[in-house]
Homo-oligomer: A and B are copies of this chain.
């Protein structure tokens, strides 16, 4: 039976970064862009009015005694945002225009609506309007076509980690989707004839499906996308059919059915579907029955398959120890603290070991004066979630070590989110 370090090494070797795929821009914040975003439009796409008012010809103003006198113009059209006009403006004419509307041909400046001194401010075509703008500048209140960028220009370069503003920029140039290293997709199947959904009341011999919801949440906590596939019974055909679907994801997580009992159909089913076993069983407690394999796919990165033990504490410990590092590798995101396996603490009570396997024992970590302190918690084993819920770390008692007594320095693995909370 291989040990934890060897198992991790084999997982690292099998895991490769997922291939880039198209992602909705709304969902792309924080992802790394893999293909330039190129504009299909000038920005602004046309000379655009930046004010509500009147589109005019500057020459009608610059000669009006330094713009100090009112100028009377004939309103020849009205153009709102989203509208255009075919009119070509002539001298002494103007067009009533709204913020964001395209300037009519011939016009090169906008007089704000509040500069109208006579004629209705809601001037209709055919009416006269008198305006006075003492601060008039040629070309004022017009955003020039292409002044921000041009069609064909790269507006976001590949390699950039996408931000909120890039979402808007991509939308502006018609990139409703972008190519990025997207969150891996993770299928989740829980197996076992005894399982019912958590919303049901179990009958005799049944228990609720705890691993499905827990694994979904664990996948989300790694920034990946869970695909919950429900409960598979321990019957060859329904199990095979569900697994075959689940193999389309980047990772398939199964729980249960990986021991050597009569109903443990998962390893055989996976192998029949072409998943190559990389290891089965790892020397640790809880979690020994864990199965790991790889399905090669012709035009995509391989699917990594984890057969996790059915007991929920084993499942969660195996997720933290093995699945999280795999997700880190394939997503290119930092999910495991670099020093995770080098942390030590001073033990404040005593703990028993196991002769044949290292034990990962739920413990309470706290920051003491001269470093971390660890205290193991009463623990009923691999199905005792309540004990794990009171812990914020795992204490490692190595194989063949009889145990530790108070004051000894021991290896500990903080359970990321819980421990961060407590130490803040």
Contacts and interface: CB of A to CB of B under 8 A. Distances in A.
A119 interface: no
A237 B194 CA distance: 55
Contact of A172 (B26, B27, B99, B312): B312
B212 A171 contact: yes
Contacts of A165: 214, 316, 385, 388-389
A140 interface: no
A171 B217 CA distance: 12
Contacts of A161: 421
Nearest 10 A-B pairs (CB), nearest first? A82-B193, A82-B194, A168-B214, A171-B198, A52-B261, A81-B194, A176-B199, A168-B210, A84-B204, A171-B210
A261 B193 contact: no
Interface of A: 25-30, 40-41, 43-46, 48, 50, 52, 79-84, 98-102, 113, 122, 143, 147-149, 155-156, 161, 163-176, 192-195, 197-202, 204-214, 216-218, 220-221, 226, 228, 234, 259-263, 310, 312, 315-316, 380-381, 383-389, 415, 417-418, 421
B262 A192 contact: no
A310 B50 CA distance: 11
Given A147-B380, A148-B384, A261-B98, A214 B389 contact: no
Contact of A82 (B40, B50, B206, B421): B206
Contacts of A113: 260-261
B171 A208 contact: yes
B164 A214 contact: yes
A102 B259 CA distance: 18
A176 B207 CA distance: 14
A417 B163 contact: yes
Nearest to A362: B165
B220 A29 contact: yes
B210 A198 contact: no
A403 B155 CA distance: 29
Contacts of A417: 29-30, 163-164
B217 A164 contact: yes
Nearest to A147: B380
B217 A198 contact: no
Nearest to A102: B205
A45 B383 CA distance: 12
Contacts of A100: 192, 194, 207, 310
Contacts of A202: 41, 45
Nearest to A39: B386
